[in-house]
Amino acid sequence: MINQLNKKMEQAYEAFLSYQQVSGKEKKEFLYAIAEEIEALGDELLQTASEESNLPVARFAGERGRTCGQLRAFGDLVAEGTWVEAVIDTAIPDRKPLPKPDMRKMLIPLGPILVFGASNFPLAYSTAGGDTASALASGCPVIVKGHPAHPRTSNLVSGAIQRAVARCHIHPFVFQHVDGTSFEIGKILTQHPLTAGVGFTGSLSGGMAIYHYAQQREVPIPVFSEMGSTNPVILLKDALQHSAPELAKSFAASITMGVGQFCTNPGIMLGIKSSVLNHFTSLLALELSMIPAYKMLHEVIHKNYTAGLDKVLYDKGVETVYHAHAEGSLTGSPVLARVSAETFLRNPDLRHEIFGPFSLIVVCENKNQLTDVWKILQGQLTTTIIGTDHDLELNKDLISIAKNIAGRIVFNGVPTGVEVSNATVHGGPYPASTDGRFTSVGMEAVKRWVRPLCYQDCPDFLLPDELKNNNPLGILRKVNGEYSRQSAS
Amino acid sequence: MINQLNKKMEQAYEAFLSYQQVSGKEKKEFLYAIAEEIEALGDELLQTASEESNLPVARFAGERGRTCGQLRAFGDLVAEGTWVEAVIDTAIPDRKPLPKPDMRKMLIPLGPILVFGASNFPLAYSTAGGDTASALASGCPVIVKGHPAHPRTSNLVSGAIQRAVARCHIHPFVFQHVDGTSFEIGKILTQHPLTAGVGFTGSLSGGMAIYHYAQQREVPIPVFSEMGSTNPVILLKDALQHSAPELAKSFAASITMGVGQFCTNPGIMLGIKSSVLNHFTSLLALELSMIPAYKMLHEVIHKNYTAGLDKVLYDKGVETVYHAHAEGSLTGSPVLARVSAETFLRNPDLRHEIFGPFSLIVVCENKNQLTDVWKILQGQLTTTIIGTDHDLELNKDLISIAKNIAGRIVFNGVPTGVEVSNATVHGGPYPASTDGRFTSVGMEAVKRWVRPLCYQDCPDFLLPDELKNNNPLGILRKVNGEYSRQSAS
This prediction has a pTM of 0.97
The residues, any chain, with a CB within 8 Å of residue B355's CB and separated by 6 or more, are B203, B228, B260, B261, B265, B301, B304, B305, B308
Please write the tens of the pLDDT for every residue from A415-464.
999 999 999 999 999 999 999 999 999 999 999 999 999 999 999 999 99
Mean pLDDT of B21-37: 98
Of all residues in chain A, the one with the smallest CA distance to B225 is A220
Tell me which residue of B361, B298, B362 sits closest to B332, measured CA to CA: B298
Q: How confident is the model at residue A165 (pLDDT cuts 50, 70, 90)?
A: very high
Start-end of CATH 3.40.309.10 domains in chain B: 233-411
Pinpoint the residues of chain A covered by CATH 3.40.605.10: 2-227+435-451
Q: Which helix (H) or strand (E) holds B337?
A: strand B335-340
Compute CA B92 distance to the chain's CA centroid, rounded to the nearest angstrom: 44
* Residues of chain A contacting residue B452, judged by C-beta atoms under 8 Å apart: 407, 425, 427, 437, 439, 444
Q: What is the CA radius of gyration of chain B?
A: 24
Is B116:B210 a contact under the CB 8 Å cutoff? yes
CATH class entry, domain B2-227+435-451: alpha beta
Residue B142 is predicted with a pLDDT of 98
Q: Give the pLDDT band of residue B136 (cuts 50, 70, 90).
A: very high
pLDDT of residue A100: 96
Q: How far apart are CA A48 and CA A151, in angstroms?
A: 10
Its ipTM equals: 0.97
Instruction: Compare all CA atoms of chain B with the CA of A65 and give the residue at the minimum distance.
Output: B97
Q: What is the CATH number of domain B233-411?
A: 3.40.309.10
**pLDDT at residue number A181:** 85
SS3 state of residue A62: helix
Listing DSSP states for A251-310 in one string gives HHHHHHGGGG--TT---EEEEESSHHHHHHHHHHHHHHHTSPPEE-S-HHHHHHHHHHHH
CA torsion through residues A190, A192, A193, A195, sign: negative
pLDDT for B325: 85
With CA atoms as reference, report the closest residue to B259 among B417, B122, B55. Answer: B55
pLDDT tens-digit map of B72-107 = 999 999 999 999 999 999 999 999 888 999 999 999
Confidence of residue B51 (pLDDT cuts 50, 70, 90): very high
The Cα A69–Cα A348 span in angstroms is 40
Q: Do A436 and B82 touch (CB under 8 A)?
A: no
Contact (CB<8Å) A87/B423 = yes
- Sign of the C-alpha dihedral, residues B14, B17, B22, B28? positive
Of A101, A409, A430, the CB nearest to B458: A409
> Residues A143, A9: contact at Cβ < 8 Å?
yes
Distance from CA of B328 to the nearest CA of A (A): 32
Q: Is the pLDDT of residue B489 over 90?
A: no
Q: Is B140 a catalytic residue?
A: no
Nearest CA in chain B to A106: B423
Asked if B437 and A222 come within 8 Å (Cβ–Cβ), the reply is: yes
**Residue B10 C-beta-side C-alpha neighbours within 13 Å:** 6
Q: State the pLDDT at residue B180.
A: 85
Of A89, A411, A417, the CB nearest to B422: A89
Q: Inter-chain contact A407–B97, Cβ cutoff 8 Å?
A: no
Predicted confidence at residue A76, as pLDDT, reads 98
Task: Select from A63, A92, A103 the residue whose CB has the most chain B CBs within 10 Å, as the one to mutate to test that interface.
Answer: A103
Question: Do B354 and B344 meet the contact criterion of CB atoms below 8 Å apart?
Answer: no
**Residue range A359-409, pLDDT digits in tens:** 999 999 999 999 999 999 989 999 999 999 999 999 999 999 999 999 999
Give pLDDT tens digits for A92-135.
Answer: 999 988 899 999 999 999 999 999 999 999 999 999 999 999 99
B483: helix, coil or strand? strand
Residues of B within 8 A of A427 (CB-CB) are: 451-452
Chain A residue closest to B410 (CA)?
A: A456
For the annotated catalytic residues of A, the residue numbers are 226, 263
Q: What pLDDT score was predicted for residue B282?
A: 98
CA–CA dist B167, B70 (Å, integer)? 20
